[in-house]
Amino acid sequence: MTGQLDVIRDGHLGIIALNRPEAINALSLEMIDGITRALEQWRDDDGIRAVLFEGRGQRGFCSGGDVRAVRQAVIDGQPGGGDAFFAAEYAMNGLIARYHKPTVALVHGIVMGGGIGIAGHCTFRFATTEARFAMPEAAIGFFCDVGVNFILAKAPLHRALAFAMSGVPVGVADALTLGLTDCPIDPSRIDAVRAGIAAAADGPRVEAGLAALMQAEMVPTSDAVWCAAADRYARVDWGDVGEIMRVVGADAQFAPLQERSPTSLVAIAASHRAARGMADIADVLALDLRLARHLSRMPDFAEGVRAVLVDKDQRPQWQPRRLEEVDRATIAAIVAAA
């Protein structure tokens, strides 16, 4: 247990609770390292048969990575600090995705960025019906990272890119359709579901018990209205960022596209399309790390984090401002590198 992370054993269930509610459990390097240590310790521990991730506080499971700390490292002339953060985070994402014991996410409220990087890679994913999912990285001059492209690659291209590029938060019905969660639950049942997860870990067949719990607790959701809106643009050329901006960005539902970093939009589109051809999440995360090292050093990252999270004036001054001026060749070379 640390000040920002609770690591608990409940019978045969290992519980990792993000405990930084004042920052909606934004992931610090300390938290990432603590999660990794717990998973490595439990990997060969026969007393732990499943691992549960949850978040403390009312506002949500996790608002993402602590990019303010990364920005400060870059500003201080120590970009290697940012590199170390992303390398540790992506290694953690890969560890969760390939863990040989069942991993369970029990999320509520805000589930964004690095929060999806934890919950989205779990084996069993419960979300309360008021949960909101987003990858808002284009608003801070970054890109859709933490291996989320590996998950979104299973969704239709137009839905995946509309979600990743716009950064618009979606409800649980759309998150279910996008493949970001598995089981919507009644918020009033969250304690009962947690108890059910612990009981399944103590039972004779853990995965069967967790699957049965999902069937018992899943509640109906409304229509996936956001995905339905994205479907109107299924025939747009999603390989042409300019066309996406002109056609999709003209729709009020996707208007945030017009405010995003042009460099980020190019990077998101290129990296996602590349990820769709990768069979191993390790390859997707390696691509993420290459792009993170590049984009975190670019002016848009420092400026975007300033505008959204530091000064909070929501008025980033992107460099370049025009899509036509983005250095596509460099981004393409980074994406294509082996």
Kindly report, residue by residue over 39-49, the tens digit of the pLDDT.
Answer: 999 999 999 99
Phi, psi of 107 (to 5 degrees): -115, 160
CA 266/CA 138 separation, integer angstroms: 10
Whether the Cβ atoms of residue 89 and residue 114 lie closer than 8 Å to each other: yes
Tell me the sheet residues that pair with 7.
16
The residue type at 132:
R
Query: Which residues, at least 6 apart from 50, have a Cβ–Cβ distance to it below 8 Å?
Result: 12, 13, 14, 101, 102, 103, 104, 197, 200, 201, 206, 210
Query: Which residues, at least 6 apart from 41, have a Cβ–Cβ distance to it below 8 Å?
Result: none
CA 223/CA 68 separation, integer angstroms: 36
Burial class (CB in 10 A: 0-12, 13-18, 19+), 104: buried
Q: Give the closest residue to 149 by CA, choosing from 24, 329, 304, 286.
A: 286
- Average pLDDT over the chain, rounded to an integer: 96
CA 244/CA 202 separation, integer angstroms: 50
CA 154 to chain CA centroid, Å, is 15
Q: At what angle do helices 157-166 and 262-275 cross, to 10 degrees?
A: 150
- Say which DSSP state 65 is in: B
Reported residue count of the chain is 338
Asked if residue 1 has pLDDT above 70, the reply is no
Whether the Cβ atoms of residue 267 and residue 145 lie closer than 8 Å to each other: no
Bridge-based pairing of strands 124-128 and 103-107 is parallel
Q: What is the pLDDT of residue 299?
A: 97
3-state secondary structure of 64: coil
The number of C-alpha atoms within 13 Å of 285 and in the hemisphere containing its C-beta is 21
What is the band of 243 on the pLDDT scale with cuts at 50, 70, 90?
A: very high
Asked if residue 5 has pLDDT above 90, the reply is yes
Q: What is the pLDDT of residue 304?
A: 97
Domains delineated in the chain:
5-336 (3.90.226.10)
pTM greater than the 0.85 cutoff: yes
CA 261 to chain CA centroid, Å, is 19
What is the band of 72 on the pLDDT scale with cuts at 50, 70, 90?
A: very high
3-state secondary structure of 133: strand
- Say which DSSP state 321 is in: -
Asked if residue 258 has pLDDT above 60, the reply is yes
Q: For residue range 182-196, list pLDDT tens digits in order.
A: 999 999 999 999 999
Peptide bond into 136 cis (omega under 30): no
CA 269/CA 50 separation, integer angstroms: 35
3-state secondary structure of 107: strand
Q: Give the closest residue to 108 by CA, choosing from 181, 165, 206.
A: 181
Q: For residue range 212-233, list pLDDT tens digits in order.
A: 999 999 999 989 999 999 999 9
What is the band of 178 on the pLDDT scale with cuts at 50, 70, 90?
A: very high
